[in-house]
Amino acid sequence: MKSPLKAVVALAAAGALVLSAGCTARSDTPADDVSTEANTGTETAEFTVAFVPKLQGIPYFEAMNTGGQAAEADIPGLTWLYQGPTEADPAKQADIVRSLIQQKVDVLIVAPNDPDSLAPVLEEAKAAGIKVATADTDAPNSVRDVFVNQATAEGLGTTIAETLATAMGGSGTAAIVSCGETAENLNSWIAVEEATFASQYPDIKLLPTVYAGEDQAKATEMATDLMNANPDLTGLIGQCTTSAPGVAQAVKDAGKIGTVFTTGLGTPQAMLPYLEDGSSSGSVLWDVEGLGYLAAWAGAQLYYGNSFEATQTVGDLQGVTWDAATKTLLLGPPTVFTKDNAAQYDY
Amino acid sequence: MSATTLTARRRERVLPPAVTGQELILIGVIALLWVLLALANPGFLAPYSIQNMLWRLAPVGIMAIGMTIIIVTAGIDISIAAILMVCSVTIAKLIAENGWNFWLAVGVSLVIGAALGAINGVLISYGRVPAIIITFGTANLFQFLGLRIFNSKTVNGLPAERGILGPGEGGRFLGLPIAFIIMVVLVAFAWYYLRHFPGGRHFYAIGDDERAAALAGVNVRRRIFLAYLVTGLLVGLAAAITIAGGTSTLDQNVGKGQELVTIAATVIGGTSIMGGRGSVLGAVLGALLVQTVSSGVTQLGWPSQLSNLFVGLFIVVAVGADLIRERRRKAKL
């Protein structure tokens, strides 16, 4: 996806798509003219796709940014803007979104900290003529045109539950250390995990979920408290990229490697030492850079007013599916990082 | 009024009791909570459970020493979380990316902490602007500085050598976490200094009545400057413990909310937010109470949000009790 030739081919393919499909469904949108022009090669439209992460500076969103920058290099005319709050605060995030509306970006993609409180702000963006999308976390009750989904709750929740259940030998007591209490994506994965344990691993007892915020130290504390309070606890799930290393560290500090097993959503670089010493049995995630790339690509499609195929290949990403009913673009099945493959990823 | 009651009162006003009423109440409440938690869950009193709680107490307790001195002078410092972040990322970068020795990096952290504290101190003592505004401003500036050092990336691959101050087995002496022992020594020293040295008493004099203190020959500016400088230095030490107990990666959330935890501990410990009264012993007890509550909530399997409720109630009750005491004292005069 980094070669210019591929980009040209991809653009030509996108152009063909516009010419064939664009005239019927979307012929009333002025964007069509722009895209046709761009694809005949006479002129490339310059447009800005802004992505607002939940917070800046954590490895997860930085990896998404890297993917977005790769798309910027591949897609002519695309300017990728990455700007988020320095803490996962809904109000600060809304301020940034408002300032981007003022700057009149063309496409706005947000990973909302609080989907409900952000919905009216997204409405303001749409009223200002900006195409609106969500990525990473959805705001289902908003005006967004597309949700760029990293994985289905079904796929992730089951993979996490299965990874932990296998490590635990199919029985015992487990607990989930989650992060933001209102984070829609985390909560939907937790629901699937609970259902998977209940239906497939009835011998695994799940304790009530605790919430550490996006705070590693707090996740470590809570995991330690859970182990101390429940001597029979043998499984821990770190539900987000800050709590996954947090719970593994707690197991390591307590000297319980091999007795208490952990898994969770962790970035490969952060999880590598824990995968190597056995305090983490496997980290479940998706291709984060690919998600950033897909988000930027989707932004470009929105700008040109293109529609999506049921299944498509985007750059190097194969099997990207589109669900028209929920207006969701899906990256694909999750990846499980182990001590054997984690070192290959540089995020 | 007879002469005897007058001398008795004068003595009381010069030096408060070694352990105040509020501290006794705190000890009682903590003891009660520990008994209840142990009854509800025997795991609460397991050695590792207690060791881990004492270890967690250390960074907050150490920062609370400085916060107590500051609040006693009727000031406040809400920039300590940002100082903690700058110091932590400095240590992490030096050891993980530049291969420095841990203790050398801690030395740098202490210097940076003291320097940032000194900036607060100069602005507050010589700029004569309310501490809450100045430190709110510097908190943002320091946070900017910290984020620049992070450079939008986490610090990965922190080595295992940092274990001496950490919560694991390598960080214990006679079964007690070394970080906790350091805290106890510092608290004992600060408690004695604040109580029995003229320099220590000057902080109280300033908090009670700055003008009167100045007229009595106290170098008010230098004392206030010192309070913030020492706090920065202590935060630099707390950063070392934070790194020692952290994971192999460090992200920008480090230290987040620690200023509120520290202020809560100090206020719950009986230090008057109006200045002039308070002790580091109370602050450590306050920190232990906050720690006990948040651990207890998790250990009992209660919803995590309840710890916010309890800590909030403790703060309100502590400040309320302080205001009532203050009113009574005024009424007596």
Q: What is the pLDDT of residues A123-143, one digit of tens each?
A: 999 999 999 999 998 998 889
**Nearest C-alpha in B relative to A206:** B301
Burial class, B92, CB count within 10 angstroms (exposed 0-12 / middle 13-18 / buried 19+)? buried
Q: What mean pLDDT do residues B242-257 have? A: 91
Q: CB B294 to CB A211 under 8 A?
A: no
Residue B71 has pLDDT above 80, yes or no: yes
Cα distance from B320 to chain A (closest Cα, Å)? 29
DSSP β-bridge partners for residue A312: A320
Percentage of chain B exceeding pLDDT 90? 78
Angle at CA of residue A228, ends A227 and A229, nearest 5°: 95
d(CA A75, CA A262): 40
Name residues whose C-beta falls within 8 Å of residue A319's C-beta, 6 or more positions apart in sequence: A311, A313, A332
Could you tell me the two tokens for B21? 């009423």
pLDDT at B153: 83
Question: Are B299 and A225 a contacting pair at CB < 8 A?
Answer: yes
Q: How far is CA B133 from CA A192, B112, B127, B211, B216, in A?
A: 47, 22, 11, 21, 28
Nearest C-alpha in A relative to B302: A208
Q: Cβ contact (<8 Å) for A231 and B46?
A: yes
Q: Which of A181, A228, A242, A277 to substitute to test the interface with B, most B CBs within 10 Å?
A: A228
Other beta carbons within 10 Å of B174: 6
Phi and psi at residue A86, to the nearest 5°: -85, -5
Give A4's pLDDT tier (boundaries 50, 70, 90): low
Distant-in-sequence, close-in-space partners of A78: CB < 8 Å, separation ≥ 6:
A47, A49, A71, A72, A296, A299, A300
pLDDT in tens, A161-187: 999 999 999 999 999 999 999 988 899
The rounded mean pLDDT for chain B is: 91
Report CA A40 to chain centroid distance, whole Å: 34
Cβ of residue B299 closer than 8 Å to a chain A Cβ: yes
Task: Count CB neighbours of A116 within 10 A.
Answer: 14
- pLDDT beyond 70 at A328: yes
Tokens describing residue A181: 């209490």
Contacts of A139 (CB under 8 A, 6+ apart): A110, A112, A115, A116, A118, A119, A122, A184
Joined tokens for residue B306:
């309840």
Task: Indicate yes or no: CB of A253 within 8 angstroms of CB of B168.
Answer: yes
Chain B residues touching A214 at Cβ < 8 A: 253
CB neighbours of residue A169 within 10 Å: 12
Joined together, the tokens standing for residue B230 give 């020492």
Q: Which residues of B touch A245 (CB under 8 A)?
A: 247-249
> Structural domain of residue B318, as residue ranges?
21-31+44-332
Confirm or reject contact between B270 and chain A (CB < 8 A). Answer: no
**CA–CA distances in Å: residue B313 to residues B53, B309, B317:** 22, 6, 6
> Above 60 in pLDDT, residue A42?
no
> Most B CBs within 10 Å: which of A65, A207, A225, as the mutation test of the B interface?
A225
d(CA A137, CA B151): 25
Confidence at residue A26, expressed as pLDDT on a 0 to 100 scale: 38
Residue A35 has pLDDT above 80, yes or no: no
pLDDT at B329: 81
Assign a CATH topology to domain A4-151+287-333. Rossmann fold (3.40.50)
Phi/psi at B18 (5° precision): -60, -40
Fold of domain A153-285? Rossmann fold (3.40.50)
- Tokens 């006794």 sit at which residue? B24
Give the helix ranges, DSSP H, for A75-110.
90-102
Q: Please check whether residue B6 lies inside any domain of the structure.
A: no
CA distance B205 to B277: 9
Query: Looking at beta carbons, which residues of chain B come within 8 Å of A87?
Result: 253, 256
Q: What is the pLDDT of residue A10?
A: 53
Q: Is residue B271 part of a domain?
A: yes
Asked if the domains at A4-151+287-333 and A153-285 fall in one CATH topology, the answer is: yes
**Domain annotation covers residue B9:** no
Give a yes or no: residue B4 inside a domain.
no
Q: Do residues B284 and B290 touch, judged by C-beta distance below 8 A?
A: no
Helix (H, G, I), strand (E, B) or coil at A209: coil
The predicted model gives B243-266 an average pLDDT of: 93
Total residue count of chain B as it appears in this document: 333
Nearest CA to B295 among B22, B40, B25?
Answer: B40
Query: In a 10 Å sphere around its CB, with 0-12 CB exposed, 13-18 middle and 19+ buried, how is residue B47 labelled?
Result: exposed
Residue A9: predicted pLDDT:
53
3-state secondary structure B288-320: HHHHHHHHHHHHCCCCCCHHHHHHHHHHHHHHH
Buried b / exposed e along A17-55 (16+ C-beta atoms within 10 A): bbeeebeeebeeeebbebbbebbeeeeebebbbbbbbbb
CB contact under 8 A, B251 and A181: no
pLDDT tens readout for residues A283-304: 999 889 999 999 999 999 999 9
Question: What's the total number of domains in chain B?
Answer: 1
Asked if the structure places residue B137 within a domain, the reply is yes
The first and second tokens of residue B219, run together, are 């170098």
| Residue A34 pLDDT | 41
A60, A215, A253, best to mutate vs chain B, most B CBs in 10 Å: A253
- Residue B67 included in any domain: yes
- The 10s digit of each residue's pLDDT in B151-180 is 888 898 887 666 899 998 889 999 999 999
Q: Is residue B203 part of a domain?
A: yes
Tell me what pLDDT residue B331 has.
85
Within-domain flag for B7: no
Average pLDDT over residues A218-236: 95
Sequence ranges of the domains in chain A: 4-151+287-333, 153-285
Neighbours of B188 (CB within 10 A): 12
Which CATH number characterizes residue B206's domain?
1.10.3470
- Which residue of chain A has the CA closest to B156? A270
